[in-house]
């Protein structure tokens, strides 16, 4: 990334967030950066499953009953359910029970520190079909919880990038934990795809001119042998299908998040239909970037 680009970093949603913009926007950049921070704080307060005061926690605690929700919460729920249907359930926003059973039962920093509950047998998934949504309200099946995770982070990156441009930047790149979205008239930007075996190295580099990249990995948020946050809804357990990581390009970051999960669980054959890079446990790297990026 060129030195003349302006950069602002902060922490939200359990990860590092970066706003990148054109150097010529210096007068507006500081104000836009503050707006982006506030936006991330708002969406984290809405969608965090680790906060007792979040809207998501309130909805999950009311499982079995109709509960009122904000327009933003309703919109993301509808998007998540549509993506679950589009992926035939490989993306499943109702996998919260399985994630908790695998040991991801609190903020990830606490999980790494060993402050988690006991592991439990895999939990069944697939209850997304039973989630009911009407204008301003949602009803979850009893004993079922939502975990938006990556799609909420990607959705927020999308909102932030568009907001930054609407607030005066000619273009903006918003990266949240490496998943990123570009809005506006951006120059070609070189992006490194993380090596799943070495967080400080790039397995490949692509030139991104628009849209979004998202990565799903079994090595990023892992806390033991075979224990990580990517649940395979077909088994209710952490994925063990032979793929370590999938990075996917899509028009929006929310969509890229979903497709990355789908690609990781599908395996190298996902490269036949998606612009992506898939790293296997055997050390292979399958790359098929076409639309929106140049390898």
Domain at 235, CATH number: 3.10.520.10
Residue 33 inside a domain? The answer is: no
Displacement of CA 111 from its chain's centroid (Å): 19
Counting the structural domains of the chain, the total is 2
Domain-terminating residue out of 115, 146, 177: 146
Assigned domain for 159 exists: no
Written as six digits, the tokens of 155 are 């959705």
Write the pLDDT tens digit of every residue in 266-292.
989 999 999 999 988 888 888 887 644
Structural domain includes residue 276: yes
Who wins on pLDDT, 27 or 176? 176
Q: What is the model's pLDDT at position 42?
A: 97
- Does residue 154 sit within a domain? no
pLDDT band at 220 (very low <50, low <70, confident <90, very high): low
Q: How many Cβ atoms from other residues are within 10 Å of residue 209's Cβ? A: 14
In whole angstroms, give the CA distance from residue 7 to residue 26.
Answer: 10
Q: How confident is the model at residue 225 (pLDDT cuts 50, 70, 90)?
A: low
Model pLDDT, residue 105: 54
- CATH code of residue 124: 1.10.3980.10
Tens digit of each residue's pLDDT (9 = 90 or more) over 105-161: 555 444 444 444 555 556 678 899 999 999 999 999 999 999 998 899 999 999 999
Answer for the pair 275, 293: CB distance below 8 angstroms, yes or no.
yes
Residue 22 lies in a domain: no
Check whether residue 142 and residue 221 sit in a common domain: no
Same domain? For 293 and 216 the reply is yes
Asked if 122 and 195 sit in the same domain, the reply is no
- pLDDT value of residue 70: 97
pLDDT digits (tens, 9 = 90+) for 179-215: 999 999 999 999 988 887 777 778 888 999 899 999 9
* Boundary of a domain, candidates 80, 114, 146: 146
The answer to whether residue 252 is domain-embedded is yes
In 3D, which of 240, 239, 259 has the Cα closest to residue 249?
Answer: 259
- Give yes or no: residues 119 and 69 share one domain: yes
Between CA 123 and CA 4 the distance in angstroms is 50
**206/139 same-domain check:** no
Check whether residue 139 and residue 195 sit in a common domain.
no
Domain boundary among 94, 128, 146: 146
Same domain for 133 and 199? no
Q: Cα-flanking dihedrals φ and ψ of residue 56, to 5°?
A: -60, -45
In a domain, residue 166? The reply is no
Residue 133 within any structural domain of the chain: yes
Domain range for residue 129?
A: 50-146
DSSP label of 90: S
CA-based torsion, 32, 51, 94, 46: positive or negative: negative
Asked if 58 and 129 sit in the same domain, the reply is: yes
């Amino acid at each position: 990334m060129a030195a003349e680009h302006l950069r602002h970093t902060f922490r939200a949603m359990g990860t590092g967030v970066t706003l990148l913009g054109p150097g010529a926007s210096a007068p507006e950049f500081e104000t836009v950066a503050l707006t982006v921070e506030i936006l991330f704080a708002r969406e984290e307060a809405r969608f965090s499953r680790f906060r007792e005061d979040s809207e998501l926690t309130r909805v999950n605690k009311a499982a079995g009953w109709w509960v009122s929700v904000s327009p933003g919460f309703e919109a993301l729920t509808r998007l998540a359910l549509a993506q679950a249907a589009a992926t035939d359930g490989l993306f499943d926003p109702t996998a919260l029970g399985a994630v908790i059973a695998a040991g991801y039962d609190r903020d990830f920093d606490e999980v790494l520190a060993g402050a988690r509950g006991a592991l439990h047998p895999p939990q069944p998934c697939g209850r997304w079909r039973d989630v009911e949504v009407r204008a301003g309200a949602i009803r979850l099946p009893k004993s079922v919880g939502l975990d938006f995770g990556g799609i909420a982070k990607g959705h927020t990156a999308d909102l932030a990038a568009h907001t930054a441009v609407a607030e005066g930047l000619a273009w903006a790149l918003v990266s949240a934990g490496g998943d990123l979205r570009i809005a506006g008239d951006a120059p070609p930007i070189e992006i490194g795809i993380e090596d799943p075996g070495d967080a400080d190295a790039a397995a490949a580099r692509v030139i991104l001119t628009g849209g979004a990249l998202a990565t799903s990995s079994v090595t990023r948020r892992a806390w033991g042998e075979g224990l990580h946050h990517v649940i395979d809804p077909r088994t209710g357990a952490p994925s063990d299908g032979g793929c370590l990581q999938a990075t996917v390009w899509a028009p929006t970051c929310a969509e890229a998040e979903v497709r990355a999960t789908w690609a990781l669980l599908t395996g190298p054959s996902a490269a036949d239909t998606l612009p992506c890079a898939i790293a296997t446990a055997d050390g292979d790297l399958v790359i098929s970037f076409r639309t929106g990026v140049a390898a």
